[in-house]
Amino acid sequence: MQNEPDALAETKKLQGISSLLSVGETKCDKCGKTIKYRDRYCCNSNECPICGVVFDTVSELNIHFSQQHPQERLRGTRYCTECSFKTGYLKMIRNKKTNEIYPAIFVMRDEELVDNSISP
């Protein structure tokens, strides 16, 4: 892709929920628990981690941060594994071929949702 004109970038939608692996000690913005190294967590790029306001586009987020939290680094809200399950961002999924069970956001081909009663 070529460089996008600024006007397009301004109305670009935020990516929403992404599932990440912790690379260091990060804190959950919801319960304050430390997300340990290599723990799975979710990041909601549409939500302000400080006041919980929800945005739709990149420019909304930029304006909000520059006006409300000029000292803060621009980022989304982090949810530890527990909070991700509570919010429903993460689900326990089983790979039908390998029978492996792991947390994920989406159910892909060859995967199925595991009954909630046995999720952590």
* Cβ nearer to Zn ion, comparing 1 with 51: 51
Dihedrals φ, ψ of 116, to 5°? -60, -25
* Cβ nearer to Zn ion, comparing 20 with 53: 53
Binding status of residue 104 toward Zn ion by CB under 5 A: no
Binding status of residue 35 toward Zn ion by CB under 5 A: no
The alpha-carbon radius of gyration of the chain (Å, integer) is 17
Query: At its nearest, how many Å lie between Zn ion and the CB of residue 30?
Result: 4
Binding status of residue 50 toward Zn ion by CB under 5 A: yes
Q: How many residues bind Zn ion (CB under 5 A)?
A: 11
Q: Tell which one of 11, 66, 68, 116 touches Zn ion (CB under 5 A).
A: 68
- CB neighbour burial string for 49-80, b if at least 16 within 10 angstroms, e if fewer: beeeeebeebbbbeebbeeeeeeeeeebbbbb
The piece of 23-31, 38-46, 87-95, 102-110 that touches Zn ion (CB under 5 A) is 23-31
* Cβ nearer to Zn ion, comparing 74 with 104: 74
Kind of pairing between the strands at 34-35 and 26-27:
antiparallel
How far is Cα 50 from Cα 53, in angstroms, rounded to an integer? 8
How far is Cα 15 from Cα 55, in angstroms, rounded to an integer? 11
> Residues in the site for Zn ion, rule: CB under 5 A?
28, 30-31, 33, 48, 50-51, 53, 68, 80, 83
